[in-house]
Amino acid sequence: MRSSRNVVKRPTMSHQGASGRLRYFFGRAMTNIRQNLFVNAVTVGTITLALLIVALFMLLVVNLENAAESWSERVQVTVYFDRDLASQEQADLQRRIQTLPGTAKVTWVSRDEAFRRFKMRLKGQDTLLEGVRPDILPTSFEIALKRNNRSSEAVEAYVSRLKTLPGIGEIQYGEEWVRRFNTFLTFMRLVGALVGGFLLVPVIFIVSNTIRLTIYARRDELEVMSLVGATRLFIKMPFLIEGLLQGVAGGLLSLLLLVLFYQLFLHNAGNFLTFNPASSGLAFLPVEFMVALVLAGALLGFLGSLTSLRRFMADN
Amino acid sequence: MIQFHAVSLAYQQDATALQNISCRVTKGEFVFLTGPSGAGKTTMLRLIYGALTPTRGQVLIDGQNISRYRRSQLPLLRRSIGVVFQDFKLLQNRTVFENVAITLEVLGWDRGDIGRRVMHILRQMGMESKIHLIPQRLSGGEQQRVALARALVNSPKILLADEPTGNLDDANKQQIMNIFKEANVKGTTVVVATHDRRLIEHAHYRTIRLLGGELAGHEGVGDAVIP
Ligand SMILES: Nc1ncnc2c1ncn2[C@@H]1O[C@H](COP(=O)(O)OP(=O)(O)OP(=O)(O)O)[C@@H](O)[C@H]1O
Ligand SMILES: [Mg+2]
């Protein structure tokens, strides 16, 4: 080269830097969106719908879990004895149960107390009990379990330990239905995951195709950019951002719809699930789930855009 | 600067566009590439800016075999080569200013610097009063100058121009040629593909002649043409 004058000193982007470039990419993405408003709206709508379905499932599962928890608050083990215990024996047994890991509280239920409760149950029909002697009912211990011992496995384990103590007769706890309910819960989670999984593919496909339309509309520009030396990342970036924005918009919108849906229909329903007057109605999604929903949207948009760019870049 | 070593190129299996081409363009040289329509001029230029890779043989730029380039290296090559395409490839929905600025935008230049540099080159081309127009509103000669401005705005090491005087009148041809010469004087290696005999005869530069995809001879001043 005869002179060095033509070697351009590339100006540094010192006062704009990465943020300046990011602003450029965002500007391009916004232009793309504005020029393909309808297609973008359709994509956002699709993402919204898919996420809404998944979110409704999440809402259902969350509430079922809440219900399961409030039921297990009442999980209580009742222990009867294989014979009449002397008071000393009974105090020993109570102490041993108390030291068993998982025990929160052990209460002695006397014959009188048991009879009193029975009478409460039959309120209004006490006449039925005329002539029945109060010592007909057996004495028992009522054991409340510690919080983290209330899962069905933990309860089973606890009960089998309890059985090894001397003097223990019948043990009652809600084993069967607790297990069934947990199975049901697992099933619902699985269905939710499956539905989400099945929705994932078509949604990515749709996002990918809308982005492909915007790419197609701009193919001349992309060709020129590539010919004047743009890196692949530089060319892709606005489209990735476009997909990301679509996804976030879809996520937020589905959240909004979920809130509306919840306010209109759900939050007064479902008292029957919890039996708990303090927490009437269905709960809304916890914050982590809301964040996850929006992130899932962003991921969907990003992946959709990435797959269409892959195809496009491979052809060019 | 540019070397072809026994380069052949076939677009399809049995349609060979270039056949065993060997030639060289040295640094700072001004070369015409000529031959009848379909001879392979555009194809040869495409090989230089890496839009095509040779079916056989090698293309070296600055001593580097560009078909060995990784995908990420191609942009760097293209930043050092300005191309005026036969069909201009101007973006129809962008203004003259934006069409030229794109070369600098992809380099990540800062807005202010882009503005100054683009205005400078468009002033040189006598286009400063048309910066806000879209290409459709321009005459052929004006579009040609915009394409040229886009190619030169980054002061490339190599300028490739494909049929740059296509439909121009003599005055416009002369103006375009002057811009090429000016760039060449500043050190840019210039390759102009054309079948315009008068253009070649007026300027006394070396000429590489293609015929049906084969090298048909060299004319004019030149150093060792076949390495
Ligand atoms: N994209 C392509 N696909 C297939 N064949 C092509 C393609 N481009 C060019 N060719 C063929 O390659 C040969 C050389 O074409 P090229 O464009 O290089 O010629 P040229 O010398 O530039 O002609 P012109 O002066 O008309 O521009 C021609 O026979 C043409 O048909
Ligand atoms: Mg041509």
Query: ipTM, 2 decimals?
Result: 0.90
With an 8 Å Cβ cutoff, are B107 and A221 in contact? no
Average pLDDT over residues A153-174: 81
User: Whose C-alpha lies nearest to ligand 1, atom 7?
Assistant: B11
User: Which-ligand-closest: CA of B41?
Assistant: 1
Burial class (CB in 10 A: 0-12, 13-18, 19+), B70: exposed
Residue B17 in domain: no
Across the interface, of A8, A223, A229, the residue whose CB is closest to B75 is A229
CATH number assigned to the domain covering A76-172:
3.30.70.3040
A234 contacts on B by Cβ (under 8 Å): 106, 108
A204, A303 contact by CB (below 8 A): yes
Neighbours of B13 (CB within 10 A): 7
Residue B64 in domain: no
Query: HEC profile for chain A?
Result: CCCCCCCCCCCCCCCCHHHHHHHHHHHHHHHHHHHCHHHHHHHHHHHHHHHHHHHHHHHHHHHHHHHHHHHHHCCEEEEEECCCCCHHHHHHHHHHHHHCCCEEEEEEECHHHHHHHHHHHCCCCHHHHCCCCHHHCCCEEEEEECHHHCCHHHHHHHHHHHHCCCCEEEEECCHHHHHHHHHHHHHHHHHHHHHHHHHHHHHHHHHHHHHHHHHHHCHHHHHHHHHCCCCHHHHHHHHHHHHHHHHHHHHHHHHHHHHHHHHHHHCCCCHHHHCCHHHCCCCCCCHHHHHHHHHHHHHHHHHHHHHHHHHHHHHC
Local confidence band at A176 (pLDDT 50, 70, 90 cut-offs): low
For residue A187, give both structure tokens.
């099933």
Across the interface, of A1, A16, A234, the residue whose CB is closest to B110 is A16
Per domain, the residue ranges of chain A are 15-70+182-270+277-315, 76-172
Residue B2 in domain: no
User: Could you tell me which of A287, A213, A212, A293 has the C-alpha nearest to residue A247?
Assistant: A293
What pLDDT digit, counting tens, does each position of B139-158 carry? 988 999 999 999 999 999 99
| Axis crossing angle, helix A232-261 with helix A287-315, rounded to the nearest 10 | 150
User: Whose C-alpha lies nearest to ligand 1, atom 2?
Assistant: B11
A315 versus A202: which is more confidently predicted?
A202
Local confidence band at A46 (pLDDT 50, 70, 90 cut-offs): confident
A192, A54 contact by CB (below 8 A): yes
Which domain, by its residues, includes B118?
28-54+72-219
B110 contacts on A by Cβ (under 8 Å): 11, 13, 15-16, 20
User: Whose C-alpha lies nearest to ligand 1, atom 14?
Assistant: B40
Q: Which residues contact A137 (CB under 8 A, 6 or more apart)?
A: A111, A114, A115, A118
Local confidence band at A131 (pLDDT 50, 70, 90 cut-offs): confident
Q: Rounded to whole angstroms, how far apart are CA atoms B127 and B132? A: 10
Query: What is the helix (H) or strand (E) element at residue B202, kind and residue range?
Result: helix B197-202
Instruction: Give the CATH number for residue B118.
Output: 3.40.50.300
Across the interface, of A6, A220, A230, the residue whose CB is closest to B75 is A230
Q: Residue A140 forms beta bridges with which residues?
A: A109
Q: Residue B7 forms beta bridges with which residues?
A: B21
Residues within 6 Å of ligand 1 by CB: B 11, 15, 17, 35, 37-43, 86, 195
Is the pLDDT at A178 greater than 50, yes or no?
yes
Residue B167 in domain: yes
Arithmetic mean of pLDDT over chain B: 90
For residue B146, give both structure tokens.
């915009």
With an 8 Å Cβ cutoff, are A227 and B83 in contact? yes
Q: What is the pTM of this model?
A: 0.71
C-alpha A134, offset from chain centre: 50
With an 8 Å Cβ cutoff, are B111 and A16 in contact? yes
What pLDDT digit, counting tens, does each position of B74-103 carry? 999 999 999 999 999 999 989 999 999 999
What pLDDT digit, counting tens, does each position of A20-33 carry? 778 888 888 888 88
Query: How close B90 gets to chain A, by Cα (Å)?
Result: 8
User: Whose C-alpha lies nearest to ligand 1, atom 9?
Assistant: B43
C-alpha B167, offset from chain centre: 17
Average pLDDT over residues B165-172: 83
User: Could you tell me which of B51, B44, B58 has the C-alpha nearest to residue B6?
Assistant: B58
Residue B7 in domain: no
User: Whose C-alpha lies nearest to ligand 1, atom 1?
Assistant: B11
User: Which-ligand-closest: CA of B11?
Assistant: 1
Helix (H, G, I), strand (E, B) or coil at B127: coil
Residue B21 in domain: no
With an 8 Å Cβ cutoff, are B110 and A11 in contact? yes
For residue A250, give both structure tokens.
């879809």
With an 8 Å Cβ cutoff, are B157 and A228 in contact? no
Local confidence band at B53 (pLDDT 50, 70, 90 cut-offs): very high
Mutate to test the pocket of ligand 1, among B41, B196, B208 (most ligand atoms within 8 A of CB): B41
Instruction: Return the beta strands (E) in B85-221 as ranges.
Output: 158-162, 189-193, 206-211, 214-219
Is the pLDDT at A216 greater than 90, yes or no?
no
* Tally of structural domains, chain B: 1
Q: Rounded to whole angstroms, how far apart are CA atoms A221 and A74? A: 67
Query: How close B26 gets to chain A, by Cα (Å)?
Result: 9
What pLDDT digit, counting tens, does each position of A78-105 carry? 888 877 778 888 888 888 888 888 888 8
Mutate to test the pocket of ligand 1, among B4, B9, B11, B214 (most ligand atoms within 8 A of CB): B11
Across the interface, of A10, A220, A232, the residue whose CB is closest to B107 is A10
What pLDDT digit, counting tens, does each position of A265-274 carry? 766 665 555 4
